[in-house]
Amino acid sequence: MNAETLKKTAQQMVASGKGILAADESSGTIEKRFTKINLPSTEDNRRAYREMIITTPGLGEHISGIILYDETIRQSAANGTPFVKILQSSGVLPGIKVDQGTKDMDGSPNEKVTKGLDGLPERLKEYAAMGAKFAKWRAVITIEGEALPTDANIRQNAKDLAAYAKMCQEADIVPMVEPEVLMDGSHTMERCREVSERTLTALFEELKNAGVLIEGTILKTNMVVPGKESGEKKTADEVAEATLGVFRKVLPDTLPGQTFLSGGQSELEATEHLNAMNKRGPFPWKLSFSYGRALQDSALKKWAGNPANVSAAQQILSHRAKMNGLATEGKYSSEMENE
C-alpha cells in the first residue's frame, strides 16, 4: 500500500470546485433509464451514451473523477480510443464500481447486505492495471418504522465496507465508502438524522478496526432529508443544518472529503442543498458531490439516442457540473440556472 499515492488521489477527488460523476449504473438500472426515453438497452447504445458523457468538452473543469461500470471501463469511443485514455487525457480520474448489488440479509429479509467481497482482490488488481484510481461500494440502509434498520444490519454493512476499503488500499485504489440511508418511506427527517448518525458511527468504528487509512478514503453518503412519502417539506437550510449536525459529531477531521449521493433528489434540490452546506464552511473535510441522476437526467433526455443531439446534451451536462462545482464552494445561486 502506497499511503502517499492514496492521500494524493483522495485530495484530487475532492479538489475545490470539483466533484465525482457517477456513471456506474448497472445493466438493469441503465435499462430503466433508457426505457424512459424509448431506447433499447443494447451494448452499442450504452457505449454511445457513455461516450457522450466522457467526451464532453471541458468536463475536467468541474469533474474530478467518473465512476464507471465494469462494461464501461473496458469500452472505447467510436474512433477506437479507450474511454480510460480519454478520461486520463482530460485530467479526470477513472473510478470503478466493484460491488455486485444487494441481497436479502439472513434473518432480516426486509434489509439488504451487499455482495462482491469474494474474489475482490483479484478484480481490484485487474482494474488498477486498467487505470482505475478509485473504487466504489454501496451499502443500503432501510428505514421502516421503529424496527428497521436493525443494529445487526448497520454493523454488517459497516464491516463489509471496511473489508472492501482495506482491499482497495492494498491495491493502491482509493475506496469510496457509500452507506446510503434510503429516502424511500414515510419517515421523518429526524428519524433519517438518527439512523444516519448510527450508520456513520458504526462505519468509522469498523474502518478503524480494519486498519483503513482514513486520509486515503472518501465517504459517499446521503443528506439528512425526510422520507419521500412523509409529506414533510424542508428548506435547503434545514437540510444543511441537520446533515452538518451529524457530520460534526461523527466524521473524523482526517477524512479528506464527503461526496454526496443525490438519492432521488431533483437536479436543483441536490445543487441547492450542497450549496447551503458549503456556505456554512469551511470544515475539516471537503463537502462535494458524487451525483448520478442529478447530473445526467436532463442530458440523457436531451440526447435520447440521437447522434444529432450529442452536443446539446453535453452542454446540459457541462452546465450541471459547473453549477455543482460552484455549490462545492458555496457560490451557487438559482439565478445562474438561466445564464
Encode pLDDT of 39-76 as tens digits: 999 999 999 999 999 999 999 999 999 999 999 999 99
Please report, rounded to a whole number, the percentage of residues in the chain having pLDDT higher than 90: 98
Q: Which residues are catalytic?
A: 178, 220
* C-beta neighbour count of 82 within 10 angstroms: 16
What confidence score (pLDDT) does residue 14 get? 98
* C-beta neighbour count of 97 within 10 angstroms: 24
Q: How many domains, the chain?
A: 1
Residue listed under C-alpha cell 462545492 = 328
Residue listed under C-alpha cell 478484480 = 123
Residue 112: strand pairing partners: 104
Write down the mean pLDDT value for the chain.
Answer: 97
3-class secondary structure, 203: helix
What confidence score (pLDDT) does residue 338 get? 87
Query: Residue 80's domain is classified under what CATH number?
Result: 3.20.20.70
53 in Cβ contact with 30 (< 8 Å):
no
257 pLDDT higher than 90: yes
263 pLDDT higher than 80: yes
Mean pLDDT in residue range 75-79? 98
Rounded to whole angstroms, how far apart are CA atoms 161 and 175?
9
Rounded to whole angstroms, how far apart are CA atoms 260 and 238?
16
0.75 surpassed by pTM = yes
Domain span at residue 11 reads 3-338
Encode pLDDT of 7-16 as tens digits: 999 999 999 9
Estimate to the nearest angstrom the gap between the alpha carbon of 249 and the chain centroid: 22
Rounded to whole angstroms, how far apart are CA atoms 302 and 36?
12
Mean pLDDT in residue range 254-264? 96
Task: Count the alpha carbons within 13 Å of 115 in the hemisphere toward its beta carbon.
Answer: 7
Q: What is the DSSP letter of 16?
A: T
339 pLDDT higher than 80: no
